[in-house]
């Protein structure tokens, strides 16, 4: 049983942010958006995991924490097509992959790079960063649904920041070198 003293301000803030996002997603579901359902599940699970996650044994410096949170907020700047189209199926698939990664990560979940224990099961048996793979696929689907210059630039920025985050996480996680030898692909099976 966890004590109240174990929770940090970061745990509470993350839980509140994702709980509020859960409320927004549930409102979208009740308004008829099928795409919002897995996003609601993802937000609810993330809020729960912020309050049940393991304590970190190593953490990134403040600038990397802020960059990670910026990467979590940037996707809200993507502008989907005004009407649902076929590209959103790709986005939906990405959300499902990301949700599988989140469920696999479990109590080791966090936004900022930290060592809360190396996860090697579930989605992490196949690729080293399944949440990022799913999120980038989802963002690509949104970008392709409305291929504007703004969306293209924002997607490229997101890819760049996610690659930075992957490197930071790989360096901070104890035992990652061995895991990286067992699981070959970082993000795209067969490619990278």
Query: pLDDT digits over 93-147, tens only?
Result: 999 999 999 999 999 999 999 999 999 999 999 999 999 999 999 999 999 999 9
Which residue, of 15, 34, 52, is where some domain finishes?
52
- Tokens for 169, please give them: 């996480």
pLDDT score of 32: 87
Q: Could you tell me where the DSSP H helices lie in the chain?
A: 9-30, 36-52, 62-73, 87-105, 130-145, 149-172, 176-182
Parent domain of 17? 1-52
Q: Using alpha carbons only, what angle is made at residue 46 by residues 161 and 144, rounded to the nearest 5 degrees? A: 45
Task: State whether 48 and 63 are in the same domain.
Answer: no
Task: State whether 64 and 47 are in the same domain.
Answer: no
Spans in the chain with pLDDT lower than 70? 1-6
What is the total count of domains within the chain?
A: 2
pLDDT score of 192: 80
Q: What average pLDDT does the chain have? A: 90
- Tokens for 62, please give them: 């403040």
Pick the closest to residue 97 from 107, 87, 89 (CA basis): 89
pTM for the model stands at: 0.87
pLDDT score of 80: 84
pLDDT score of 35: 80
- Tokens for 57, please give them: 């044994």
Site of tokens 């990278």: 192
Would you give the distance in Å from CA 173 to the centre of its chain? Answer: 17
d(CA 171, CA 60): 10
d(CA 171, CA 114): 10
Task: State whether 15 and 79 are in the same domain.
Answer: no
């Amino acid at each position: 049983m966890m004590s109240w003293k174990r929770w940090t301000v970061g745990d509470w803030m993350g839980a509140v942010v994702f709980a509020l996002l859960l409320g927004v997603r549930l409102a979208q579901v009740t308004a008829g958006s099928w795409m919002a359902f897995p996003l609601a599940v993802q937000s609810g699970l993330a809020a729960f995991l912020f309050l049940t996650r393991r304590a970190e044994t190593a953490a990134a410096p403040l600038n990397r924490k802020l960059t990670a949170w910026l990467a979590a907020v940037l996707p809200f700047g993507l502008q989907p097509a005004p009407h649902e189209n076929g590209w959103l199926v790709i986005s939906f698939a990405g959300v499902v992959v990301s949700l599988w990664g989140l469920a696999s990560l479990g109590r080791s979940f966090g936004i900022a790079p930290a060592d809360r224990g190396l996860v090697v099961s579930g989605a992490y048996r196949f690729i080293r960063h399944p949440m990022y793979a799913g999120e980038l696929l989802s963002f690509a689907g949104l970008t392709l649904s409305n291929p504007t210059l703004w969306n293209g630039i924002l997607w490229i920025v997101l890819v760049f920041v996610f690659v930075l985050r992957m490197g930071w996480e790989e360096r901070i996680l104890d035992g990652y070198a061995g895991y990286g030898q067992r699981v070959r692909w970082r993000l795209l099976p067969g490619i990278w």
